[in-house]
Chain A
Amino acid sequence: MFEGKKVIIVGDRDGVPGPAIEKCLQTTGAEVVFSTTECFV
Chain B
Amino acid sequence: MNNPVISGAGYILVHVPNIMMEAGTTQLLEKDNAKSDYYQKAFEHIRDFESALAYAPNQVYIGNITPDELNNVERPWYENLLKDPKRFGPFGEILPEDEFFGLMASSDSFDLVVLEEGFSKEIKDKLSNHPLMTEEELGRIKTGAKIQTIEELVYEHDAIPLRYNNQIVGCVKKAHDRDENLNAHTMLENTATKASAYLALKHMIKNAQIAAQDIDYIIECSEEACGDMNQRGGGNFAKAIGELANCSNATGADIRGFCAAPAHAIVNAAALVSAGIFKKVAVVAGGAVAKLGMNGRDHVHKGLPLLEDMLGGFALLIGENDGKNPVIRTETIGRHTIGTGSSPQAVIQSIVYDPLDKLGYKAEDIDKFAPELQNPEITESAGAGNVPEANYKMIAALAVRRGEIERADMTSFVEEHGMPGFAPTQGHIPSGVPYVGFARDAILQGKMKKVMIIGKGSLFLGRMTNQFDGISFIMEKNPGITQKAAKPAEDVSKYLAEAFREFADYLKTRGESDGSQ
Contact = CB atoms under 8 A, between A and B. Distances in A.
Contacts of B456: 13-14
B430 A41 contact: yes
A23 B425 contact: no
Contacts of A12: 384-385
Given A13-B458, A13-B468, A14-B390, A41 B374 contact: yes
21 contacts: A12-B384, A13-B456, A13-B458, A13-B468, A14-B385, A14-B387, A16-B343, A17-B468, A19-B342, A20-B341, A23-B343, A37-B460, A39-B458, A39-B460, A40-B295, A40-B383, A40-B384, A41-B372, A41-B374, A41-B379, A41-B387
Given A39-B461, A41-B387, A41-B425, 11 more contacts: A13-B456, A14-B385, A15-B344, A17-B468, A19-B342, A19-B466, A20-B344, A39-B460, A40-B384, A41-B372, A41-B379
A41 B427 contact: yes
Contacts of A19: 341-342, 466
B474 to A, nearest CB: 21
Interface string A24-41: 000000000000110111
Contacts of B344: 15-17, 20
Interface residues of A, number: 15
Contacts of B461: 39
A15 B458 contact: no
Contacts, number: 55
B466 A41 contact: no
A40 B466 contact: no
A14 B391 contact: yes
A37 B466 CA distance: 8
B460 A20 contact: no
A28 to B, nearest CB: 17
Interface in B410-428: 425, 427
Q: Name the 6 nearest CB pairs between A and B, nearest first.
A: A40-B384, A39-B458, A17-B342, A20-B343, A19-B342, A20-B342
Interface of A: 12-20, 23, 36-37, 39-41
Nearest to A37: B460
Contacts of B468: 13, 17, 37
B342 A41 contact: no
Nearest to A40: B384
Contacts of A37: 342, 458, 460, 466, 468
A30 B385 CA distance: 28
B259 interface: yes
B382 interface: yes
A36 to B, nearest CB: 8
B81 to A, nearest CB: 24
B215 to A, nearest CB: 30
A37 B342 CA distance: 11
Nearest to B390: A14
Interface string B382-397: 1111010011000000
Nearest to B259: A41
A19 B427 CA distance: 22
A16 B374 CA distance: 18
Nearest to A39: B458
Interface in B437-475: 456, 458, 460-461, 466, 468
B352 to A, nearest CB: 14
Most-contacted residue by chain A among B259, B343, B374, B379 (CB, 10 A): B343
A12 B385 CA distance: 10
Contacts of B458: 13, 37, 39
Nearest to B383: A40
Interface string B366-405: 0000001010000100111101001100000000000000
A14 B372 contact: yes
A38 to B, nearest CB: 8
A35 B456 CA distance: 21
Contacts of B430: 41
A26 to B, nearest CB: 13
A39 to B, nearest CB: 4
A15 B390 CA distance: 7
A40 B379 contact: yes
A11 to B, nearest CB: 8
B385 A15 contact: yes
